[in-house]
Structure 1
Amino acid sequence: MDKNDILLRLFKAIQENSDNEHLDFALPGYAARQLISYQAIREDLMQCLASIKELMEKDHNQVVRTALWYSTISLYGKCFTDASTSKSSKLEVKDCFTVGQGLHGVHEQLMDLRHNLVAHRGETIQEIGIAYLRLRLHDSARGAHVRQGKFKIPKDLNVIVELLEHLIAVCEMKFEKATEKAWDHMMKTYTPTQMALLKIGGPNINQAITEKFNPENPEPPAKIERPEFSGEKFV
């Protein structure tokens, strides 16, 4: 299944769940990127929260506990790292924390684990060790040994729950602002006739609309003077 197949299935799902009380309009890819990014970030943070609560509420074996902890670190770091190839949005530290806020310190600890433990093998207290050489006296056999600290998951995970809930709220606020921006763009860019062609759900939906709409178009359309809508306004 390729990208076009997935997009078609998503459009069909929107149409199948449409009702007579709403009009649904397709948002071109260049205008939808920010909304899709923040929705994906929120889902990652929700998964992190679910994993942490699973660690807190159930007594799993070490393999499961390590998997839950590592997946949390990985997904958490993903929310703050660049996605230059896809140009997707990410969370910015300056938008999420204030100077001196306790949660910022927790964030820094998780990002350090992401950079130096999960994504790369850097210097971290989770993998501090001592390497030493050993010579066996009776036959002069030589070897090397490593003594390494045991991996531990923090005992107090409540502060991480607080951090994740805070960031989920931040992400939801950014999604709301991106929604306002997207509506403003659509209303100023498209004529009523063009908006009708972008309709993918709602009363009297035309199934052929998805064939005329190209979600892969990376370039915005030319600016068009939009006349006032006659009849009901879109709000």
Structure 2
Amino acid sequence: MSQPNEPNITFEKEISHEHNIVKVRYFKDKHPIKSYAFDTSLGKQCAGLQLIIKDLEIVLATLKLTLTLPLMEPSTNPNIDYFQFTTSNPDQLILTSLINSSIITYAKYFTQGKGLAPFINSEKIKSELSSDAYILHEKIIDLRHNFIAHGGVNDFELAKTVILIDLTHSHSLTYVHHVHHSVMPLVNNIEAFIDLTESFLRIIKSMLQKRSKALWETEINKIPIGLHISKAGDHVTFSNKS
């Protein structure tokens, strides 16, 4: 058997009304072909790595989109990291959402979960990144943990209850609950964030390439074609429903 020529493979999806079951039919050169899910441990590992690749490609696209926003133009706002954040400014809301989304998605596989994609230990990629890139990586993980996903200690949102005394009006006394939220994290490091994501993407693609090669050589190609045919049908069902 020869390995499939992926550029010739296309597919069609049939999605259930509840959106939790998807049937996928595959075609080669526009002709329908048989298919089945290869759910060995190594097969699942490869599928999980492809999940990470999908998310990192989303991060890259999102970060590149931020660079096109008018707010990111130096001529518009040369001191963007110091602007006073306000919910009435739609450009600030969009930029904040894009950056926060990128941080969460990038850090997704450095937190333990129960899904198909593997947990990636930061130490696993440390040797393959420059010292500056790894420092940025650690900063992104910390931002995910202590700023976006959880209310931890950070320098981007500070809150105090403040007593106010007006000495010009008989020492009148009042108070306010004040939140300081002005600095947008990583806004001046988008290019570096893009470079880091591209490096991480190369690492994951290399991992997938090695495991996919092992999958083909040690498992798929060892099974007689007749047994593959007996397991194949006209579609593959994607679902987490038991």
TM-score clears 0.5: yes
User: What stretches of structure 1 move > 6 A for 4+ residues in a row?
Assistant: 213-216
* 1:136-155 alignment, distance < 5 Å: 138=170, 140-153=172-185, 154-155=187-188
Cα shift at 1:198: 3.6
> Which digits, 9 at most, give the CA deviation of each residue in 1:150-192, with x for residues without a partner?
132431322111101101111111111221232222344x444
Residue 89 of structure 1, aligned match among 87, 95, 118 = 118
> Which digits, 9 at most, give the CA deviation of each residue in 1:188-224, with x for residues without a partner?
4x44431222446xxxxxx4xx5xx8888xxxxxxxx
Quote the Cα distance in structure 2 between the aligned partners of 1:46 and 1:4: 23
Higher helix proportion: 1
- Which structure 2 segments of 5+ residues have no match? 1-15, 72-90
Determine if contact 2:104/2:144 at 8 Å carries over to the other structure: yes
Q: C-alpha root-mean-square deviation of aligned residues, in Å?
A: 3.2
Determine if contact 1:133/1:143 at 8 Å carries over to the other structure: yes
Give the structure 2 partner of residue 18 of structure 1: 28
Quote the Cα distance in structure 1 between the aligned partners of 2:111 and 2:219: 27
Determine if contact 2:161/2:175 at 8 Å carries over to the other structure: no
Q: How many residues are paired up? A: 199
Cα shift at 1:54: 1.4
Are 1:62 and 2:62 counterparts? Answer: no
Determine if contact 2:45/2:118 at 8 Å carries over to the other structure: yes
Cα shift at 1:130: 4.0
Quote the Cα distance in structure 2 between the aligned partners of 1:109 and 1:118: 12
Amino-acid identity (%): 19
Determine if contact 1:38/1:90 at 8 Å carries over to the other structure: no
Quote the Cα distance in structure 2 between the aligned partners of 1:80 and 1:195: 36
SS at match of 1:144: strand
Quote the Cα distance in structure 1 between the aligned partners of 2:34 and 2:121: 31
Code of the residue aligned with 2:48 in structure 1: it is: S
Code of the residue aligned with 2:189 in structure 1: it is: D
Residue 149 of structure 2, aligned match among 113, 119, 122 = 119
> What's the TM-score, normalizing by structure 1?
0.71
Quote the Cα distance in structure 2 between the aligned partners of 1:166 and 1:145: 43
Quote the Cα distance in structure 2 between the aligned partners of 1:29 and 1:75: 26
Are 1:50 and 2:61 counterparts? Answer: yes
Cα separation, partners in 2 of 1:67 and 1:115, compared to 1, 3 Å: same
> What's the TM-score, normalizing by structure 2?
0.69
Code of the residue aligned with 2:177 in structure 1: it is: H
Code of the residue aligned with 1:185 in structure 2: it is: E
Quote the Cα distance in structure 2 between the aligned partners of 1:81 and 1:120: 13
> Which digits, 9 at most, give the CA deviation of each residue in 1:107-165, with x for residues without a partner?
01111110011110100111134432235665855323325141324313221111011
